[in-house]
Amino acid sequence: MEPLALLSYYEQKGLMKPSMVRLVKKRLKYVEEGVRRVEEASSLNYPKYYIEPRLHLCSDGSVTSLGVFYARMIPMEFEDRIEPMVELSAALIALGSKYTIHAVLAHEFLHYVEFAMRLKNFSITSDAPVYSNFEAVYVDEEKLVDPKKVFRSRSLLNLLKKKFRNGLVDERLNSKVVRLWIDKGLPTVSTGIEYNFVRIPVEKLAKVHIDPVLLERLDEFGRDR
CA 73 – CA 118 distance, rounded (Å): 14
Element of type H or E holding 51: strand 48-52
CA atoms within 13 A on the CB side of 6: 14
pLDDT at 63: 37
- Mean pLDDT, to the nearest integer, of 99-110? 97
Any idea which of 14-18, 93-97, 186-190, 195-199 has the lowest mean pLDDT? Answer: 195-199
- The answer, yes or no, to whether residue 128 has pLDDT greater than 70, is no
pLDDT given at position 81: 83
Q: Does the reported pTM lie above 0.85?
A: yes
Beta carbons of 156 and 33 less than 8 angstroms apart: no
Give buried/exposed letters for 170-191 (b at 16+ CB in 10 A, else e).
beebeebbeeebeeeebbeeee
- In 59-216 the beta strands, taken as DSSP E runs, fall at 67-69, 71-77, 82-89, 188-191
pLDDT, tens digit, 9 for 90 and up, residues 177-187: 999 999 999 99
